[in-house]
Amino acid sequence: MTYIVAEDCIKCKHTDCVEVCPVDCFHEGPNFLVIDPEECIDCALCEPECPIEAIYSEDDLPEDQIEFLKLNEELAKTWPIITEMIDSPADADDWAGKPDKLKLLER
């Protein structure tokens, strides 16, 4: 099992989760983070750190977020690893909880 970064992270990109990951499985894109499922050890440390609750256990991933399992796997192969917390975008709080953000994902 792995943890998944879901849609709500798009354009929010808080990196609190990165700081607690013991295996450096987070990868950073322009406006989104992903978890490499091959590296994730299912420790669950990242999930409670996300201020917008955008991280889910694979077993608890909402049905409407299933495509993010494959998206995390795909993007983790090309995006660089992020190991330290960085500032969130200035407008991150404005994007929290907004629906239909997948179309805003920058690759």
CA pair distance 21, 48, nearest whole angstrom: 12
Q: Which of 6, 104, 3 is nearest to 62 (CA)?
A: 6
Looking at the structure of the chain, the number of domains it has is 1
In a domain, 53, yes or no: yes
In a domain, 31, yes or no: yes
Instruction: Please give the pLDDT value at position 58.
Output: 96
The domain in which residue 26 lies consists of: 3-84
Report whether 106 contacts 29 (CB < 8 A): yes
Instruction: Please give the pLDDT value at position 8.
Output: 97
Give the CATH number, domain containing residue 70.
3.30.70.20
In a domain, 74, yes or no: yes
In a domain, 57, yes or no: yes
Q: What is the pTM of this model?
A: 0.96
Give mean pLDDT in consecutive 10-residue pieces for the chain, a chain of 107 residues: 97 97 98 98 98 97 97 98 97 96 97
In a domain, 89, yes or no: no
Instruction: Please give the pLDDT value at position 103.
Output: 98
In a domain, 106, yes or no: no
In a domain, 42, yes or no: yes
Q: Which of 36, 28, 29, 6 is nearest to 102 (CA)?
A: 6
In a domain, 13, yes or no: yes
